[in-house]
Structure 1
C-alpha cells in the first residue's frame, strides 16, 4: 500500500462508512486535525453485500477529495471483503467481525494506533435493550466501551455520551452529504426491528429512555469490572501458569462467586464468553466429577483429579475408513506432522532448552504401546513402567493416545509424558519440543 499523504504527521483513523454518523465524526475530526497538525485516515470497508456498495465507496472518495481541496489533512483508505458464510452462520455477525479486522489492518498499515468509531448514545441504549432481550449477563449488558485496546489498536467512541439528535443537528448545521444504507430498513435484523418498530413507541412513552438505558449500560460496565477484579482474587490461588484450574478452591466459594470465577477463567482461555447454559451445567456437574469432559463452542473442557483443563478443538475431521498406521517419521525442522492412521498431529517447536536434539529426530519409528516400556521422567530418576509414570504424573486415559516414538531402540517420547530424560539435548544444541494434538471426530 502506498504511504499516506502527510506521512510525517501523527495519524488518527476514523471508521467511515459514508453514513450520517461516520460522516459527521470524520468531518469534526478532520477540522480539528487541521489545527493540530494531525493527518486523518478515513477507513472504508466495502462489504460487497449491497447493490449500491460501489456507489457508497465512490461517494466517500469524492467527499474526502473535496475536503482535501479545502486543505484538510484527510485521505481515504478502503478494503474490499469477500464474505462467504457457511450454512447456519450469521451473515450479520460475520460482516461485523470481518469489518473490525479490516479496520484494524488498514489502521496499522497507515501507522494509526487509534481508530475513532461514530457510535452515539442511542446506539448504546439499543445495544443494552438487545442484550437484555437475549438474556445477557452483566458483561453483555455493559454494551460498548468508550475506550478499548485490542490487537495493537486503541478503539475510541468519542460520541458515546452524545444523543442522536445532537449528531443530526451537527449534520444539518454543516450541510453534510451522506449515504443511506437500504439494509437499515430490513426488519429481518433484530436491531432494525428495535429501531423501527419498538423505539418510537418506547421514546414516546418514556421521554428519557435513551439516556436512562445508556446510563444502565454504564452501571453494568462498572459491575462487570468489579466482578472481573473479584474473579482475579479468587483465581489467584487456583489457576496455574499453564491455565489449568484447580477446582477445590472454587468449590469452597459461594455458588455465585464460584460461577463468576469459572466464567472469567473460561473467557481468559477462549477469548469469548461461555454460554450461560453450559456454565450452569458445568457448575452443577463438577463437584461430583473425578474424570469427565464437556464440549463447548470451539473447545473441550476436561477434568481429571480435580483439575479443569481447556483444550481448543482442531479442525473437525470427517469419519472415514481408518488407513494403515504410518510406521516411520523423519523430522528435519519445526512444524506440524500429520501422522496417518494415528488420529492426530505431532507438533514440533524450536526451543532453547528441555528439548530433544534435532539430529535424533531424522529416523523415528512409530510404535503402539504394548506393555513393558520403560520411561525416565527426569534426570537422575529411575526408569519406570509407563503405567506407573502415567499414574504418578496424573495423566488421564484420554491424554495417553498417540504413538510412542523410538530412535532405534531408545524410547524417545510418550504422549502425555513428553520426552524421556535420557534423550534431552545439551545446552547449545539445536533442539525441538514435541506435542500431540489428537483429532476431533465430527
Structure 2
C-alpha cells in the first residue's frame, strides 16, 4: 500500500490521528512520504473527547508513538486538544462529538500552519455511510457520502485512501508492525454504525461479496449527481437572488424539481443547515399564495416573505445591537470556505464562481469596515453610485438585514452584505473571481 501523495503546496501537512488502526497507518505512511521530501513537516492532530475513561491512555499512546518516530529523525510532532462535551438529552453523542472533533481539527491545523488535513477513511467506511444514509431516507447529497477532497473552513480536507479496501490497510499495519489502540465503544451496538458493522455487514458480504466496492461506487455516482444538482442550483440562484434575498416569482416559474433544488440550496447557504423534506414541500406549496408569511427553521432562525422576496433572519437578528467587542479589521483568504469573523457576529462564506463575482483570485487580503456614512455603492455598470442608505431602500433591504462588514481591497469597496458586488469591482467573463455571502449568527 503506497503512502499518500504529498503533492499539496504546503510545508506542513496535518493528519487526524486518533491512535486507532486506520489513522495510525495513514500517519505512518504520510511521515514516510515526508522523509523523502525535505522541508515537509507532519503534524499529528489528536482530539481527546473527554467521553471515555480510556481516552487518557489513548493520548499517552499517541505521544509515545510520535516520540519514537521523532527519535528516528522522522518529521512528525503531536498536537492535541481536550474537549469538554456535554450532550444534552435527545442529542446524538456521535453527532455532537463529530462536529466538535472537526472544529478542533480545523483550529489546531490553522494554529500550526497546516493548509490541509488528511483523514483516514477508506472504502468500507464509504460503503457503510452510503447504507446508513439510504436507511435514513437521505437524498442524493447524503448518499454521496464522504468526498475524497473538500475545501472547508479555509482548509483542504483530503481522504487519500477512500478508494482503498479495509484489507489493504490491515495488511499495511501488519507489514510495518504498527501498534494502535482499540476503541471499546466500537462494540456498542446502540450506535447505528456499529449495528451495521456487527449485525448486518457479515451477512451482506457473504451474500454479496462485491458489496463494499459496489456501494462505494454507488456513493461516487451519487456524488456526481449531487455535484450536477449543485451546479444547476448555482446557475439558477444567480438569476434568483437579489440583495441577499430569494425572488419568489422567478423561483416558482421553474419546474417543481428544479425550483425545489434551488430553494434547498439557498436555504442551506444562508442558514448553514439543510432544509428538511417536509419543510421544503410546505414552502413550495405555501409560497405561491403567501405575500407575508414566515417559516421557523428547526435549527433556529426564520424564513420570511417580504415584497415578493424570501429572506432568512437568524434568531434575534431583527433586534440585534452593535457589540462593543473588538472586530477583525482584515481577513486573509487562502481558500474558499466559511470564515467566522470575530466581533462581527456572523460568518463570511467565500466561493469561487465563474460569473457574478468580485475580480479577485486566491489568496486574497481584504479589509473589513463598518458603515461610516459616506460610502457610495454602484449597483450596476450603467448606474450612478449612491449612498448605501438609498441603495438599501431601493433594494427593499430592511434595517435589521443591513448588518455585517463592508469588504474592501485597499480603498476600493468590493461588496456589501444585502446589496452584493459593487459594479466597479465586478469581474468580467474569464477573470478569476470570488462570490461572498454573509450569514449572521
Q: Shared topology, TM-score over 0.5?
A: yes
Structure scoring higher RCO (CA < 8 A, sep ≥ 6) equals 2
> Match for 2:304 among 302, 305, 316?
302
Aligned with 1:45: secondary structure? strand
Tell me the residue number matched to 2:270.
269
Report matched runs for 1:74-223 at 5 Å: 74-223=76-225
Aligned with 2:36: secondary structure? helix
Tell me the residue number matched to 1:244.
245
Q: Structure 1: which 4+ aligned runs deviate by more than 4 Å?
A: 331-336, 392-395, 415-418
Post-superposition CA distance 1:325-370 (Å, at most 9, x none): xxxx9x997899xxxxxxxxxx9x8324358xxxxxxxxxxxxxxx
Deviation at 1:85, TM superposition (A): 2.1
Q: Is the 1:334–1:350 Cα contact (8 Å) retained in structure 2?
A: no
Report matched runs for 1:242-391 at 5 Å: 242-296=243-297, 297-314=299-316, 350-354=370-374
Q: Structure 1 118/316 Cα, relative in aligned 2: closer, same or farther at 3 Å?
A: farther
Q: Alignment length, in residue pairs?
A: 342
Tell me the residue number matched to 1:15.
16
Q: Structure 1 67/266 Cα, relative in aligned 2: closer, same or farther at 3 Å?
A: same
Post-superposition CA distance 1:30-69 (Å, at most 9, x none): 1111111211111111111111101000100111111111
Q: Which has the larger radius of gyration?
A: 1
Deviation at 1:272, TM superposition (A): 2.0
Distance 1:417 1:129 in 2: 41
Q: Structure 1 315/203 Cα, relative in aligned 2: closer, same or farther at 3 Å?
A: farther
Q: Structure 1 332/98 Cα, relative in aligned 2: closer, same or farther at 3 Å?
A: closer
Across the aligned residues of Structure 1 and Structure 2, the Cα RMSD in angstroms comes to 3.2
Deviation at 1:298, TM superposition (A): 1.4
Q: Is the 2:48–2:81 Cα contact (8 Å) retained in structure 1?
A: yes
Deviation at 1:275, TM superposition (A): 1.1
Deviation at 1:304, TM superposition (A): 2.4
Q: Is the 2:116–2:156 Cα contact (8 Å) retained in structure 1?
A: yes
Distance 2:229 2:396 in 1: 33
The question of 1:30 aligning with 2:31 is answered yes
Deviation at 1:89, TM superposition (A): 2.0
Distance 1:416 1:23 in 2: 50
Deviation at 1:306, TM superposition (A): 1.8
Distance 2:266 2:401 in 1: 26
Distance 1:290 1:93 in 2: 37
Q: Structure 1, unaligned stretches of length 5 or more?
A: 1-8, 318-328, 337-346, 356-377, 382-389, 400-414, 419-432, 436-442
Q: Is the 2:294–2:303 Cα contact (8 Å) retained in structure 1?
A: yes
Distance 1:301 1:158 in 2: 39
Distance 2:280 2:323 in 1: 44
TM score, norm. by length of structure 1: 0.72
